[in-house]
Amino acid sequence: MRILRQGRLSMTVELGDLTVTMLSDGETVIGTDRLRGSDGEELAPEALAGADLADGLLRLPVRAFLVRGPQGCLLIDTGAGDAWHESLGRLPEALVEAGVGTNEVTAVALTHTHVDHLSGLVDGDGGLAFPNADKVFVPVEELMAFRAEPRMIPVLPRVMPLEQGDGPMPGVTAISAPGHTAGHMAFLVEGRLLIWGDIVHHSAVQFARPEVCWSFDDDMAEARATRLKVLEQVVEAGWLVAGAHLPGPGIGRVERDGEGYAFHPATRGT
């Protein structure tokens, strides 16, 4: 992997015939009670010792990723738009910084249908944020939830069901990673970078203690089992990872570290 370009809100890396651009949607903070132990209990203060806090709250960056190839541009997740915290919704700014026009996006794929992943599909006026994205891939288990969201009405004619093994563009394969939501999906790019959505929400705690869950997980036990499986898989395969809530620049490498793992953010020369 080679870093081609890096700015405040974006970083573009080269992977074979494709490039992947991390796009920051901004950062918010959220209560430490979102992190939960094995039985769903809130963590004791000492278990939060290494957490990345701002005024006692967990930092939560939000990111999307753009995969560009000879046959088009696939945007994976779209940020929170204006539907969640005020500090989010900066995806359009990140696209400008990365030199990508919204008209260049030819398809969108969602890791899942939570507010910080789908809301950027529509702009502030309720119109299509990516008018040339004629396909919007939504995990099949979450089609009902997507269709029930009133803000997504303009997008509905473009929706395509997404299943394990599907290729929303050449060089990108969908890999089922359920638990955080029933249809939660990761995307393997060029067989070596896994864009893994919400496998980890708080890096500073969950790499060292991957058993720690997130209170927004639909099924914490399944999310935990998937996280453990995926972490093992990326280490064994030597894949790079990219995550919607990983610390900057949102792309890096995972290594085993004692009983758990450690995340090493990408730097030039990674």
Task: Give the binding site for Zn ion (CB under 5 A).
Answer: 116, 198, 244
Rounded CA gap, 72 and 119, in Å? 22
One-letter amino acid of 244: A
E-assigned strand segments in the chain? 2-6, 10-15, 18-30, 35-36, 53-54, 57-69, 72-76, 107-109, 135-139, 159-162, 172-176, 185-189, 193-195, 213-214, 240-242, 251-257, 260-265
Q: At closest approach, how far in Å is the CB of 137 from Zn ion?
A: 17
Q: Measured from the CB of residue 245, what is the shortest distance to Zn ion in angstroms?
A: 6
Choose among 33, 105, 23: nearest CA to 62: 23
Unique residue bearing structure tokens 């393997």? 188
Closest CB to Zn ion among residues 18, 88: 88
- Of 51, 107, 118, which is closest to residue 81 (Cα–Cα)? 118
Residue 146 beta carbon to Zn ion: minimum distance, rounded to whole angstroms: 15
Instruction: Tell me the one-letter amino acid at 183.
Output: G
Nearer to Zn ion, 213 or 244 (CB): 244
Whose Cβ is closer to Zn ion: residue 106's or residue 111's?
111
Task: Please say which residue, 15 or 138, places its beta carbon nearer to Zn ion.
Answer: 138
Nearer to Zn ion, 19 or 181 (CB): 181
| Joined tokens for residue 57 | 């709250």
Q: What is the DSSP letter of 227?
A: H
Nearer to Zn ion, 107 or 246 (CB): 246
Go through 71-99 and write b for each residue having 16 or more CB atoms within 10 A of its CB, e for each that does not.
ebbbbbbbbbbebbbeebbbbbbbbebbe
Tokens of 238: 């030597």
What is the C-alpha end-to-end distance of the chain, expressed in Å?
A: 7
Shortest distance, CB of residue 69 to Zn ion, whole angstroms? Answer: 25
Q: Smallest distance, Å, CB 116 to Zn ion?
A: 5
Instruction: For the CB of residue 48, give the shortest distance to Zn ion in the complex, in Å.
Output: 20
Q: Which residue is nearest to Zn ion (CB)?
A: 198
Question: What are the angstrom distances between the C-alpha of 250 and each of 9, 74, 214, 267?
Answer: 10, 17, 19, 11
What is the smallest separation between the CB atom of 170 and Zn ion, expressed in angstroms?
27
Kindly tell me which of 116 and 142 has the beta carbon lying closer to Zn ion.
116
